[in-house]
Amino acid sequence: MFQYDYLIIGAGLFGSMFAYKAKLAGKRVLVIDKRPHVGGNLYCENIEGINVHKYGAHIFHTSNKDVWSFVNSIVEFNRYTNSPVANYKGKLYNLPFNMNTFYQMWGVKTPNEALMKINEQRNSAIEKMRGEGISTPRNLEEQALSLIGNDIYEKLIKGYTEKQWGRSCTDLPAFIIKRLPVRLVFDNNYFNDKYQGIPIGGYNIFIKNLLYKVDVNLNTDFFSNRIYWENMAEKIVFTGKIDEFYNYCFGKLEYRTVCFEEEIHDCTNYQGNAVINYTDKSVPYTRIIEHKHFEMFGLEVDACPKTVISKEYSMEWKEGMEPYYPVNDERNSRLYQQYKALASQEKNVIFGGRLAEYQYYDMHQIVEKILTFNL
Ligand code: FAD
């Protein structure tokens, strides 16, 4: 007789959601995590009264009403709307590309004027390529130029993309950019989803409520005593790295990572927005996040005397770094399929989440998966 029905490895969103659902179904659940805190990458640290997103800025967004109702039943979400701004050589542009951006870029004031300008830019790029004998874009640069033209590509796409990928846009495949949606309205709301926001009081409350009355062991690495933990429960939910689960028998999966440089400033408002992208390549970081703007609005901003910012650097992943984004190239996709074939033979192990499925998931996708999962 096992002590628990489920041993959940990882107290991130997948593990915490699974624990909540299993507990609700009357199952005995134990969650372990190697980190000293729950929440996985959603974890926030309170610094100077501000919830600092320690593993990168997280904004919840979804169009699924069930998902939105569910998360709001765990904790109420605020009205934060993601509207990032780009800084290119000191000049500011609204994102995503919309009438505000086009006004800032070219001074155009109507949708018709903007469309004419975009088409003029695109056509001149396409004609230039044709003159060089290029009929289909061979790389990301040519693709972007043919979709949006030179000005927006040079100022808002090129440097940022090259920092993100650590490679020149001429060395990146064209398929990375399939479309470049433009909005001919004055709307800076980044997401197209119906609902978005941040849990009131922060993500830690959201996770704490999911794990209410669930047994949790922190600072506990499954692999440090694998047999002991395997004998603890009838079933295992594994949300760690799938290649590690199989002792890297086919080789190691690769990731891209992000590093953060955190600064506390003695002012109430550093940049006036949660997210500012630095699109010029000569600035080494990709974005500056000012955390208080996720949860403080209007007079609340000034009522909090300090502010915390994070400069975000995109990097190649090395052993020991946080594995953030899977690399969807041929080698890694093939390797993952080999591990997945092994995983599909397991009867008592459920593999879930971004590391075990080697797939980028937004938070709402994880919530949706668990809500529709049959225990
Ligand atoms: P994780 O949060 O990584 O949780 C896995 C947990 O397993 C970790 O706590 C880890 O310590 C633990 N673990 C691993 N191995 C072991 C082991 N051997 N023993 C014990 N414990 C172990 N999504 C959005 O919807 N909006 C956003 O704005 C957004 N921004 C993001 C920004 C960044 C920089 C990144 C990387 C992701 C972002 N996401 C965002 C995606 C979001 O982070 C994921 O959807 C979510 O974290 C996935 O949860 P998870 O449980 O699968 O993984």
Domain extents for the chain? Answer: 4-80+193-250+327-371, 96-176
What CA–CA distance (Å, rounded) separates 231 from 21?
22
Residues with Cβ within 6 A of ligand 1?
9-15, 32-35, 40-42, 56-60, 221-223, 239-240, 258, 324, 353-355, 361-364, 366
Alpha-carbon torsion 317, 322, 324, 326, what sign? positive
Catalytic residue among 312, 324, 336, 339: 312
**How is residue 89 written in tokens?**
């050589």
4-80+193-250+327-371 belongs to CATH 3.30.460.80? no
- How many Cβ atoms from other residues are within 10 Å of residue 207's Cβ? 27
Q: What is the CA radius of gyration of the chain?
A: 23
Three-class SS state of 354: coil
What is the full per-residue pLDDT of the chain (375 aa) written as tens digits?
899 999 999 999 999 999 999 999 999 999 999 999 999 999 999 999 999 999 999 999 999 999 999 999 999 999 999 999 999 999 999 999 999 999 999 999 999 999 999 999 999 999 999 999 999 999 999 999 999 999 999 999 999 999 999 899 999 999 988 888 899 999 999 999 999 999 999 999 999 999 999 999 999 999 999 999 999 999 999 999 999 999 999 999 999 999 999 999 999 999 999 999 999 999 999 999 999 999 999 999 999 999 999 999 999 888 888 899 998 889 999 999 999 999 999 999 999 999 999 999 999 999 999 999 998
Entry pTM: 0.96
Burial 276-305 (b: 16+ CB within 10 A, else e): bbbbbeebebbbbbbbbbbbbeeeeeeebe
* Closest CA to ligand 1's atom 15: 240
CA of 239 from ligand 1 middle (Å) equals: 9
- Which one-letter amino acid corresponds to residue 146? S
Catalytic residue among 122, 183, 244, 295: 183
- How many Cβ atoms from other residues are within 10 Å of residue 122's Cβ? 18
CA of 56 from ligand 1 middle (Å) equals: 10
CA of 175 from ligand 1 middle (Å) equals: 26
Alpha-carbon torsion 280, 281, 282, 285, what sign? positive
User: β-pairing, 287-290 with 50-53?
Assistant: unpaired
